[in-house]
Structure 1
Amino acid sequence: MDKPTTASSGFTPTVENPEVESDFLRSVHALLRELDGHHPAFQSERGMLRWTLHKKIDRNPSNGVLLVKILVKELERAERCGYRQYIIPLLHTLMYTMVKAPSIPDDLYERVYDFCKKLLTLPKPYCTIGLHYARQLKLERTVPGILYQRLVSAEQSLKNDSFPYQEKVFMFADPELLSEAVCRAIVTEIKAARTSQCTRSCMIYVIEHALQEGLKEHCDFRTLQAILQAKPLDVIEHCFQQVVAAMEHAGRDMKAEYNQYVEELKKIYSTLLRASKKDVGKAAAEGSPGIPLPSPNISFHLWTDEDQLWKELVLFLRPQSPSCEEVSLKVLGSFELQDMGPEYDNGCEQVRFSVLSTDSGIERDLPMPDDEVPEAERSRLQRKGGIKKRAAPLDCLSLLQTGPNGQGAKPAGKLHRRCGGSVMEPIARMKRLHTARVLVLGDDRVLARLVQAYYCLRKRESRRAYLTPRLKVQFYYVPVMEEQPSSCPTEECALPDLTEPCELAAYLGRVDPWYESNVNTLCHMIPKLATMPSSSSKTSVSELFIIDVIAYYVRLGLQPVYFQVYTVKLVFKNAGLEPAEDIFLIELRVALEEFDPSRDSLLMKKKTTVEIPGADVSLVYKKVLLSSREKEETAALRSTGLVMKAIPSNDTEDLVCLNVNIAEIVKTANLSGRSYSHVTNRIRTRNIKMQSTEQRSFTVCLDKDSRRVYKNVIGIEVSQCLEPSYCLQKTRARRTSLPGDEDVGLAKYLPKSLLLPINTFAGIIQ
């Protein structure tokens, strides 16, 4: 493919400015020192350095080439000297600059492309990210400007036939965890960002960027800006369709000549010039020198409804006018009854069979045998002659793509936590034209709400795959902490209360330093910015710090870290109550009931020794070993409580298991009489049963949330939460398989455990 030479590849020649180069070099070195983590002088600016660096390019795009040169040199130096901790942050910063800066010379593209190919020899996540960016660079060199076009077209949902993909950011906040001031500050920035992202403006940006990158010095950019600003909307739409069609055709046909693509752009440019010769001269001098990158389409939601996440995703797939949106939310309840099966428990013993009627067309559940049907049910309408309807291939195959490795297979039998991987091709070619980026704000308690919504969504999809074949759902987490979380009733436990409000975010910051620098810094900065007095200058598009950082995160944070979800079954002291089931992601805390003298005054009269706190309990668990073996253990002890942690507390023990800390009471004998001492035992397990051998109950708190407290509990059973689609397929296969068969039929291709993916910049850096 013929390409222009390096000498003519620049739109305007870049003048080397020693002062600007020195300023950029200082900023990049400060960014690298920030990653080292042992420079207290930079703690006050933590999180601002990267944002400030990219803002300099926004204000003066002509300096983008100079910054790219500096970043390429630092990348090559980091690779040569073995400073791997700098590679991914520098590469993300470089690629984001190349999308924003115009007219990057071919020699710089070649150096970055060669560097990305070198990363393929390194372990994950370096090879994964290197392959991703190498593909992007190859496409950009083939069709200059296509990365910008695809990013803006997808994020702004610009309608066209050549590139119909759409993306949207759904920002969820729990109103009980975030104050009104914080929510108002975020909404204010979202509204301010929308001023520069109307449909007409975004289409003009795409046209300008494509012609500037494709025609190089043959395009009078200021004149083009003036022409497009004077055009009506229908002309802009027609020109936008032509530009996108030319770019996508060249991107799909890799054998197409580069000169042919340039000729297509010249025709579009010449048509615009011929139709607008009159008003060009005066308006050309008023054009702005750069092309902004609009913020992504963000919608802010207060999490007030349990099914709100699912409803918003359905509405995203079913675009409605603003006037119809409120009505559509009300109609979704009836849609669920018609299209979705009933909920089922973790064991999936209750199965709904979809049947096709051959007479009246009424669809009902498969009837139970006559001896099991209650008398009231026998009098109901019974359908005869129906045949069982097989699930559509689309529904079955879509479930195979939900696993963490992208291929639907069950995770390997390793203890180490799974990290991000490359986006694999789906087993069946299904068009997913939409991407929903779900971002939650708050501390660990909002993640507990997210995992509950995700679990319910997976249960719906296992019954009927409506969202899965059409929509990619990615999860992002921005920690925000205003105050310490409300204390759980379980804090009476003898274990030290060292609970960190944003425990999962702290873990992500340890495994991904770039997440620590750019996202975790928002934890205290967002409440601080919300309390500052508002002014018109702070809401200008160029100073939107929160939205700019979030946009950077959702655009480049494409490597997920997977977290195991756990299920807990609770047995209550009152035998009349049915056992309850719930799930948790981060922590389960148990406090046993203390001895109450008023309950047994007779015992107090007879008692001559000191009352020992806690209660006697029995434990049955499978101990997790580093050899990937599990050893079943039993124990009987006296305890005041325990804490189960699903998130590793340090980098050396990153195992997919529960770290259970048990506060044991050990009786001791001394000269003054019998006494006791507190001992903390720690075990690693994937499943555990705890039963109170006395009549004393205990209290259970899930994920540090005082709203999720269970009282009067005498027994719990904790295990890994199973993927709902796996449960359903295994139950269906069990009806036709032998009793000893394991994972027969479609179940053996499905992921077994339910994992919640949270996107970061690098996944887990080994």
Structure 2
Amino acid sequence: MENTEVESDILRSVRALLRELDGHHHAFQGERGMLRWTLHKKIDRNPLNSAILVKILVKELERAEKGDYRHYIIPLLHTLMYTLIKAPCISDDLYERVYDFCKKLLTLPKPYCTIGLDYAFRLKIERVTPGVLYQRMIISEQSLKSDPYPYQERVFMFADPDVLSKAVCNSLVTEAKAAQMYQNPRSCMCYVITRAVQAALGEDCDVESFQRILQNKPTDELEHCFRQVVAAVECTGSETNADRGRHAERLEKIYSMVLNSSAGGGSSPGGLHGTPLPNPNISFHLWTDEDQLWKELVLFVRPVSQTCEQDCLSQELDNFEIQDIVSDCDCCEQTRFSVLSTDSGIERDLPAAGEELLPPSSTDVEHARLQRKGGIKKKACLLESMALLQNSCNGPGAKQCGKLHRKSNSNMVPMPHFHRLYTARIVVLGDDRVLGRLAQTYYSLRKRETRRVFLTPRLSLQFYYVPVMEGQPNTWPTQDHTTPGQMELCELAVYLGKADPWYESNINTLCHMIPKLATMPSSLSTHPMSDPFIIDVIAYYVRLGIQPVYFQVYAVKIFFSNEAQEPAEDVFLTELSAKVQDCKAPKDHMQTKKKTTLEVPGADLAVTYSKVLLSNRKKEVEVLLRSTGLVMKAIPSSETEDLACLNVNIAEVVKTSNLTGRSFSSATNKIRTRNIKIQSMEQRTFNLCLDKDFRRTYTNVVGVEVSPCLEPSYCLQKTRTMKFSLHEPEDVGLAKYMPKSLLLPINTFAGIIQ
């Protein structure tokens, strides 16, 4: 009777979760984002009910597949997989039903077939080697030393202090610290050992006695037992014809050895017990330095050793690349790549007298012997080229410029896989302004890697976005109603929510919930055992959100009214807005001006753009119009839009004549393009704002050029190819396998559901 009540309660929770996905049940709006978390917490408090939840989820999946409820499939599948990872033991028939359902998804379009294939592969391994998914997750997330499975992951949370308030940042820091209370290596090793033994032996082991003995063991003995368990599990997982019985025998030997090592080594089966799944290692960072992300990644890939002091590494990081910015290869006249010096610094190794030497500085004469001389250009080795190519091929293909990059996966020729041992999961919190900053940083990082490949062969980068917005958004000062007056500061999050309903339910609900929770008194300070909701949701997001949505990064070249000032180059991700500055005439001129003359607002702009056509043909258009401002939107208004382009809305001033004389009205001129040039034909200038961030505002602008930002690795290969074949119109060599455009991938749960 008790099991019936528990099953009814879990079924009600699952049905409520499904009604939330329908989006038209207003009674559940206040609980959006909480239902999934509450359901998993019920199972965490009583892990024995995990089998009941798995059984219910399988039934709902089969019902959704038979009926017209396809939008239920991916959320139910993620909920099911998260439960299986944490479940102490699941019967073979349930594994078989889940595995068969995942195979059925292979007949459906993306992303169903992609997620189904991934989960079918995991389930096949987990069924033969129970506990392997849990073990690998703990080892990688907690950075435990393990030779059979040397992979490491870390979650970096970046918050812009100019976007988020101090209260929100402090609340996130408090939760991150509370989540790490039980993440010490000893506890995590005990979790891995206990989970592997219980998953293999089931109810035939005394879990309580086993855990007590492990906790009392010295650290070196615990590490030895941990290495034995990991080796046994990974050995079974790597076997072609793995046998579950043989796997159970291996772990039973370890289990008996641990029990016999204790004075009271008796064993009496005590039933199944749950094993905690600690949150991943999350570090919180206030984004104050432009190079902060890159430095954190370098420290993660090459941490401080016991024999190396922190200041030595900091100096090494500062001198790692002094000139780290590469010019845009297709947009500038000169391109300068990495220069490697090969001399030894000994006097006899210096160049001959006829060769050019670098003159020493007058202030550094006494240090002249320490300076490197006569560096030569060195071609990148094959490993570096292949690393850049493989990194570029993770995204959509290069030849699909006419379609929406967000919906296309890699169609490239498969290359040898570089086993990246490190995975950095970058979580940015804020609105579209922090995403614009992320695009800038990502572009700089890709240029660094083009100059000198360091992170690419070792590190896999995964980007995640959690929208957070406080108060009312600022408004762009304008008097023209045709120009958007109120900023949509979470425009990209709205798009992702429409494309992926599970992202809408779990992540978009944090947009206003995080500031709300920050104003409440924290229960974590008085009750450390309280569940950290925000960190739990972020941990769920980074673990299961593995389907990227690609967004085009656009390059901007800005020209100023002062001809002596060099043009500025920047990038943006979501929006570029411009407003013509008012030109006030002198008072004496206004007095002599005829009253009948009406001043025309705005400025004459020459606009040249390539029109986007469904046939993917190129059509250049040149127009001259008068405008007061414009807005370029890079994020489509609908998730069903199938073209990658800029939607440009130009506030055009139209002259009209009536009985009272001449007057002016405004109209919106809509343009869809990928490349556009705008030039002011008068003395009037305009202000330019990128990604709705007033910190990135340019004044006294007379011209702007916008085009898709090119991938730096493609530029490098293209430049090398042009040295040997100057008249090749098409890409040859490695360049033809690389995407031309730089795409920023933001991970979601399902990508874009078509």
CA contact (8 A) 1:494 1:641 kept: no
Tell me which of 709, 722, 731 is aligned to 2:719: 731
1:546-625 matches, within 5 Å, as: 546-598=534-586, 601=589, 605-606=593-594, 608-625=596-613
Tell me which of 317, 325, 329 is aligned to 2:314: 329
Matched residue SS, 1:590: strand
How far apart, in 1, do the equivalents of 2:108 and 2:588 lie?
68
CA contact (8 A) 1:404 1:411 kept: no
User: Larger deviation: 737-746 or 512-521?
Assistant: 737-746
What do the CA deviations read for 1:68-125 (whole angstroms, capped 9, x no partner)?
0000000000000031100000000000011111111000000000000000011100
CA contact (8 A) 2:393 2:412 kept: no
- Tell me the equivalent position of 2:365: none
Cα distance, 1:334 vs. partner? Answer: 1.2
* 2:4 is the counterpart of 1:25: no
Q: Structure 1 residues 533 and 360 mapped into 2: Cα distance closer, same or farther (>3 Å)?
A: closer
Q: Structure 1 residues 462 and 483 mapped into 2: Cα distance closer, same or farther (>3 Å)?
A: same
* 2:342 is the counterpart of 1:354: no
User: Larger deviation: 679-688 or 397-406?
Assistant: 397-406
CA contact (8 A) 2:47 2:88 kept: yes
Q: State the TM-score, normalizing by the size of structure 1.
A: 0.91
CA contact (8 A) 1:646 1:658 kept: yes
CA contact (8 A) 1:103 1:216 kept: yes
Matched residue SS, 1:764: coil
What do the CA deviations read for 1:42-81 (whole angstroms, capped 9, x no partner)?
0000000000000000000000000000000000000000
Please tell me the residue identity of whatever aligns with 2:32: R
Cα distance, 1:326 vs. partner? Answer: 6.2
Matched residue SS, 2:198: helix
Please tell me the residue identity of whatever aligns with 1:298: I
Q: Structure 1 residues 684 and 107 mapped into 2: Cα distance closer, same or farther (>3 Å)?
A: same
CA contact (8 A) 1:404 1:755 kept: no
What do the CA deviations read for 1:667-700 (whole angstroms, capped 9, x no partner)?
0010000111110111100010101111111110
Tell me which of 443, 456, 461 is aligned to 1:468: 456
User: Larger deviation: 616-625 or 727-736?
Assistant: 727-736
How far apart, in 2, do the equivalents of 1:353 and 1:197 lie?
42
* 2:180 is the counterpart of 1:197: no
What do the CA deviations read for 1:219-272 (whole angstroms, capped 9, x no partner)?
111221222122121111111100000000111112243322211111101111
CA contact (8 A) 2:397 2:410 kept: no
How far apart, in 1, do the equivalents of 2:587 and 2:689 lie?
25
Tell me which of 383, 387, 392 is aligned to 1:403: 392
How far apart, in 2, do the equivalents of 1:542 and 1:281 lie?
34
CA contact (8 A) 2:606 2:678 kept: yes
Structure 2 gaps of 5+ residues are: 363-367
- Tell me the equivalent position of 1:42: 28
CA contact (8 A) 1:648 1:654 kept: no
CA contact (8 A) 2:326 2:337 kept: no
Please tell me the residue identity of whatever aligns with 1:394: L
- Tell me the equivalent position of 1:308: 292
Please tell me the residue identity of whatever aligns with 2:618: E
Q: Structure 1 residues 95 and 419 mapped into 2: Cα distance closer, same or farther (>3 Å)?
A: same
- Tell me the equivalent position of 2:327: 344
Cα distance, 1:325 vs. partner? Answer: 4.6
1:501-516 matches, within 5 Å, as: 501-516=489-504
Cα distance, 1:595 vs. partner? Answer: 3.3
* 2:406 is the counterpart of 1:418: yes
Matched residue SS, 2:406: coil
Matched residue SS, 2:663: strand
What do the CA deviations read for 1:342-380 (whole angstroms, capped 9, x no partner)?
532453532235356468589x9x9xx999x99x99xx9
Give the percent of matched residue pairs that are identical in Structure 1 and Structure 2.
Answer: 63
Tell me which of 282, 290, 293 is aligned to 2:274: 290
CA contact (8 A) 1:227 1:280 kept: no
- Tell me the equivalent position of 2:428: 440
How far apart, in 2, do the equivalents of 1:538 and 1:516 lie?
32
Matched residue SS, 1:445: helix
* 2:159 is the counterpart of 1:169: no
How far apart, in 2, do the equivalents of 1:541 and 1:150 lie?
26
- Tell me the equivalent position of 1:234: 220
CA contact (8 A) 2:205 2:267 kept: no
- Tell me the equivalent position of 2:260: 274
Please tell me the residue identity of whatever aligns with 2:688: V
How far apart, in 2, do the equivalents of 1:501 and 1:342 lie?
30
Cα distance, 1:484 vs. partner? Answer: 3.4
CA contact (8 A) 2:477 2:485 kept: no
CA contact (8 A) 2:652 2:667 kept: yes
Cα distance, 1:299 vs. partner? Answer: 0.4
Tell me which of 113, 134, 137 is aligned to 2:123: 137
Matched residue SS, 2:274: coil
CA contact (8 A) 1:486 1:705 kept: no
Cα distance, 1:546 vs. partner? Answer: 0.3
Matched residue SS, 2:398: coil
Tell me which of 369, 379, 383 is aligned to 1:394: 383
What do the CA deviations read for 1:127-167 (whole angstroms, capped 9, x no partner)?
00000000000000110110000000100011011111000
Matched residue SS, 2:597: coil
CA contact (8 A) 2:325 2:447 kept: no
Q: Structure 1 residues 538 and 152 mapped into 2: Cα distance closer, same or farther (>3 Å)?
A: farther
Cα distance, 1:625 vs. partner? Answer: 1.4
How far apart, in 1, do the equivalents of 2:507 and 2:516 lie?
15
Please tell me the residue identity of whatever aligns with 2:232: A
* Root mean square deviation, CA, Å: 3.0
* 2:51 is the counterpart of 1:65: yes
CA contact (8 A) 1:222 1:288 kept: no
CA contact (8 A) 2:427 2:466 kept: yes
CA contact (8 A) 1:113 1:134 kept: yes
Work out the number of aligned pairs and report it.
Answer: 740
Matched residue SS, 2:390: coil
User: Larger deviation: 570-579 or 409-418?
Assistant: 409-418
Cα distance, 1:392 vs. partner? Answer: 1.4
Q: Structure 1 residues 259 and 494 mapped into 2: Cα distance closer, same or farther (>3 Å)?
A: closer
Tell me which of 238, 250, 256 is aligned to 2:236: 250
Q: Structure 1 residues 50 and 600 mapped into 2: Cα distance closer, same or farther (>3 Å)?
A: farther
Tell me which of 211, 230, 245 is aligned to 2:197: 211
Cα distance, 1:489 vs. partner? Answer: 5.5
Cα distance, 1:207 vs. partner? Answer: 0.4
CA contact (8 A) 2:149 2:234 kept: yes
Matched residue SS, 1:734: helix
